Amino acid sequence: MEYELINIRTVMNKDEGGSGLSFVEAKHDIPFEIKRMYFIYKNEECMQMGFHPHKQSWHLFFCPNGRIDITIDNGETCSTISLDDPSKGLILHPGVWREIKWINNNSVLCVAASGHYEAFKYRKDYESYLKYVAEKKKTTNDEMADIWGESIYE
């Protein structure tokens, strides 16, 4: 599976009510340059999201508060990783399908990405993703562009 679990450096201050600080450094702790950061907060209507891969972008997911489960799928193998500690990070390599589920209402998902946001490149059809994975095994990148047109995964 194309992912890595990493340790996010976290310092807890027990004297001040359990406050903490977690941090990562691009190219030191993670294998890519950060071009975008975003943060997702759960609301009552949003229990799950994601449901897409990125062809070229790497992503670091971490949950500084609460618990979020991320199901990752490469078209052959499926695993669920629980982000339930601020020192736990998940790096997703390009081309991996992800589904994100909030387990605790107060959870926050922080994401560092190697690519810029381009919504038109997202494909949220799992059957098309499986076709992409199957074709990827037997074709070149140029041939994949013909399969997906210009708007292939980010």
pLDDT of residue 11: 85
pLDDT of residue 120: 56
Task: Give the pTM.
Answer: 0.75
pLDDT of residue 139: 66
pLDDT of residue 90: 95
Q: What value, to the nearest 5°, has the Cα angle with vertex 136 and ends 52 and 53?
A: 10
DSSP per-residue codes, the chain? --EEEEEPEEEEEGGGTTEEEEE--BTTTBSS---EEEEEE--TT-SEEEEE--SS--EEEEEEES-EEEEEE-SS-EEEEEE-STTEEEEEPTT-EEEEEESSTT-EEEEEESS---GGG----HHHHHHHHHHHHHS-HHHHHHHH-S----
pLDDT of residue 46: 60
pLDDT of residue 145: 53
> From first to last of its 154 residues, what are the pLDDT tens digits of the chain?
588 898 888 887 766 666 888 888 888 888 899 999 999 887 666 677 777 777 778 999 999 989 999 999 888 889 999 999 999 999 998 888 899 999 988 899 999 999 887 765 666 778 888 887 887 777 655 555 554 444 444 4
